[in-house]
Amino acid sequence: MSVATSMRAKRRGRPRSERFRQRFEMSVLSVPALIMFVGFVILPVFMAAYYGFYRWKGFGKPNVNGQFIGLENYHIILTDPNFQQALGHTLFIAVMSLVIQGPLAILFALLLNQKFKGRGLIRTLIFVPYVVSEVIIGTGWSLMLQPNGAVNAVMKNLGLQGVDWIANPKIAIWTLMFIISWKYIGFAVILMIAGMQAIPEELYEAARVDGAGFWRQQWSITLPLLAPTIRMWAFMSIIGSLQLFDLVYIIWGQYVSSTAGTSTMATYMVREGRLANNYGYGSAVAVVIFIISLVIALAYQRFVLNRDLAGAVEKRERKQLERRIAKRERERMERDEIEEAIAPNNASMEVATS
């Protein structure tokens, strides 16, 4: 009986110590990340919300060197036509980025997912603009798109009339969309290729056996199985569009973006906050941008990403069920081992008694 007792104690003590060790490791490893998140994300949001209640120039403390004005900054933001225009431009960029980059990225990914000579080089060339700094991209395109720049020079040599790509309000927004698509489509293409390579080849073989052509295979197999990747890319593209600042600020400068029709919420924040020496108002704009981005992100997660999250939860529950079944099987085997271990002792005790 002592053998059985010791084995039971060993079996009960092992999972507790293992769980304690795992929880301790998770706590130790997550504390630095939690401190960074609170210090650089949560705390700045609350500080910006606090500063937004003041008319403050950024010197000293707001409650000492500033003037408390309550919600006046937020009222001005929501009623300012310039902010409304910047919000409209931002939403337009977010939508058009999906419309332009999405189909092109899928087509490029379908092409680059095939085997042909030079495929690796083309993949690299498509991805290069994404890894190049926004400052370099913005400066280069700004020089080429000037009225006497390289683009108009090429058009002049072809017998075409030059265009004011940057200052013309009817053209500037489409110039910006071209530059954004050229820079960021490489990231979308790489994601689509990764998603396509995760699709089992057996599905395409079965479709070819059934007589399905190339485009029918892509429509019936690739696109449905690529949907989670597309939804995740769309989410990152939307969030990135809401935060767009670098390219607009570098190409169109501090004030031209508003007259050219390319201003965004971020450029509005910098222009009306830091450049106007009104840091309280700029902080209020930052809070409004944060709230708009949060609402859009939560709505997207609720209505678009919810199916992916539900599938992930279902998969996790299935794995947990499999682990519980495996645990029960191990416990049954341990009980059998205990019974086999104590059986000779019981037999010897019966012989001694007889």
Domain parsing of the chain, residue ranges: 80-276
* Residue of higher predicted confidence among 69 and 328: 69
Residue 347 has pLDDT above 70, yes or no: no
pLDDT tens per residue across span 4-22: 455 454 445 456 677 788 8
Helix ranges restricted to H, 52-168: 62-65, 72-79, 81-112, 119-131, 134-144, 150-157
Residue 175 has pLDDT above 80, yes or no: yes
Residue 328 has pLDDT above 80, yes or no: no
Token representation of residue 95? 């939508």
* Beta bridge mates, 68: 54
pLDDT tens per residue across span 101-131: 999 999 999 999 888 888 889 989 999 999 9
In angstroms, rounded to a whole number, what is the distance separating the alpha carbons of residues 295 and 297? 5
Report, as an integer, the average pLDDT of 302-326.
69
What are the phi and psi torsion angles at 158 (to 5°)?
-85, 0
Task: pLDDT band for 24, please (50, 70, 90 cuts).
Answer: confident
Report, as an integer, the average pLDDT of 280-296.
94
Tell me if 263 sits within 8 A of 248, measured CB to CB: yes
Residue 97 has pLDDT above 90, yes or no: yes
Of 196, 174, 192, give the one whose Cα is nearest residue 100: 174
In angstroms, rounded to a whole number, what is the distance separating the alpha carbons of residues 247 and 137? 8
pLDDT value of position 26: 84
Say what percent of the chain tops pLDDT 90. 51
C-alpha distances in angstroms, 45 versus 119, 286, 288?
45, 8, 11
Query: What contacts 24+ positions apart, CB below 8 Å, involve 299-306?
Result: 300/235, 300/238, 301/235, 304/231, 304/234, 304/235, 305/231, 305/232, 305/235
Q: Domain 80-276 has what CATH class? A: mainly alpha
DSSP 40: I
How many residues are there in the chain? Answer: 354
